[in-house]
Amino acid sequence: MEQELFSHPSLLAKSQIGAIDKRTFKEQFIRGAYSRLEYEPIFEVNVSATVNYIDVDPSVKFSLVSDCDGNISIYEIEEESCGRLRLIEKRQFVPLTLNKSQWFPADNGLLQATYPNKVVVVDTNTLKLLDAYDFGLKKVYNSDWNKLNPNLIAVGTSGSSIRFIDIRSGCCLQQITVESLLGASSHNVSRVCWSPVDDECLFAGDSSGFIHIFDIRKPRKSLQSIGSDNTTCEPVVNLSFTCDNMNLITAHGIQSVLNQWTFKNRTLVNSNINYPFPYCRVNKKKSAAAAISSAFLKCQLYVTESLLFKPICDGTFGGELCCYDLKNGERLRTLSPTTWNPDNCMNVHCVTGFHRDYPVLISGSRRFIRVWGLGGKKDDDQKANQYHEDDWG
């Protein structure tokens, strides 16, 4: 995939300035499409268990859904613009909560699934287990497939360790120990994420709210360990890069407090962008007690070139997704189903999209998988057709 370069207009040739202007217009159009038009569910699928994670394959033809019953569901995306999904296969390989399942970065021939005690690799053509990596007494919290080096899978576990799976050799003995900066006796690696531009750079978020950067060639000491004052002791529940690979978005704690970090030369700097949270229902005095299951908190963000979408896990608030301006943190709107019901909006943990340039979203909750599209355009077309029919009638 070609990487786009971003430079100041004064440093660009005249022939490149038009491309920058075109890109700016495109960002404004997409931002306006998300913020002004009414979003509504254009397709819904009933599910039997809470959806934990959704992954779309590189060809944008299939989606992979993980749920709390341990089921892996493969849906075919029949129409990308309409978001129509068709269930192809549903399998349960381990009768435990499925925290995450992920497509092989290069194609859809393999997938990996992360359970509380093991990671399995599955052949999607035969839907048979190729390998199963059991971590014994260690709890497995998160994993990430290296997109630049697809042979490696990083796994965040209890006991302050990161394990590496080499699917080519079947070895999972290599590990990195993450230091607890607060000296906590119970310290876990809650999230891991590979750098999208460097196959030897790994990011790890721990249960104390700190982000650690490692060079896997020199794993004895982290390159940097950094945290924010407003998220200390709040575990990291998400690590996501922006489209330009220059910023890292982190989510912390039960309320998924968001921070943005600028990444340059393997160093993170706080961008000091505040993403306001729509509500606050958690007592700070009880936050420590709630942290015992903090590493199992689910939060999957979706980041476009100019917008950030975050799921709302509390259905009593009246919505499912929050839409933010990525650059200044402004909360643009809250997406809610047309017929809102608190029972149907509970436990929304994940949101993703079919394509970065096309405004179609997909979210998973306790009862539904919802595909969100631009309902305003559809209504305008219906009104225009009705107008012309009345005019000719």
Q: By three-state DSSP, how is residue 195 classified?
A: coil
Whether residue 169 has pLDDT greater than 80: yes
The average confidence (pLDDT) of the chain is 80
91 has which bridge partners?
Answer: 72
Q: What pLDDT, on a 0 to 100 scale, did the predictor assign at position 21?
A: 47
- Identify the DSSP state of 345: S
Alpha-helical regions (H) of the chain: 14-36, 287-290, 375-392
Mean pLDDT of 198-214: 94
Give the residue among 357, 368, 359 at the shortest CA–CA distance from 333: 359
Is the pLDDT reported for residue 198 higher than 60? yes
pLDDT for the residue 161 = 93
Range 90-97 contact pairs with CB under 8 angstroms and sequence separation of 24 or more? 91/127, 93/120, 93/122, 93/129, 94/70, 94/118, 94/120, 95/69, 95/70, 96/70, 97/52, 97/68, 97/69, 97/70, 97/296
Amino acid identity at 104: F
Instruction: Please state the rounded mean pLDDT for residues 27-41.
Output: 60
CATH number of 135-299: 2.130.10.10
pLDDT band at 148 (very low <50, low <70, confident <90, very high): very high
Q: Considering only residues 318 and 1, tell me which one the structure prediction assigns the higher pLDDT.
A: 318
Tell me the CB-side half-sphere exposure of residue 98, using CA atoms within 13 A: 27
Mean pLDDT of 38-56: 87
Which range (22-36, 127-141, 215-229, 322-336) has the least confidence?
22-36
**Is the confidence at residue 2, as pLDDT, over 90?**
no
State in Å, rounded, how far the first CA of the chain is from the last one: 53
Q: Picking from 240-254, 302-316, 378-392, which range would have the lowest pLDDT averaged per residue? A: 378-392
CATH 2.130.10.10 spans which residues of the chain? Answer: 135-299
Partner residues linked to 101 by β-bridges: 113
Residue-wise pLDDT for 306-316, tens only, equals: 889 998 876 55
Confidence label for 90 from pLDDT (cuts 50, 70 and 90)? very high
Span 216-241, pLDDT tens digits:
998 889 999 998 877 778 899 999 99
Q: Identify the top-confidence range among 2-6, 54-58, 280-284.
A: 54-58
In this prediction, residues 182-194 reach a mean pLDDT of 88
pLDDT, average across residues 137-147? 94
pLDDT of residue 356: 60
pTM over 0.85: no
- Both structure tokens of 121: 């690799």
Can you list the positions of beta strands (E) in 104-252? 110-114, 118-123, 128-134, 140-145, 152-157, 161-166, 175-177, 189-194, 201-206, 211-215, 224-226, 236-241, 247-252
Residues 372, 321: contact at Cβ < 8 Å?
yes
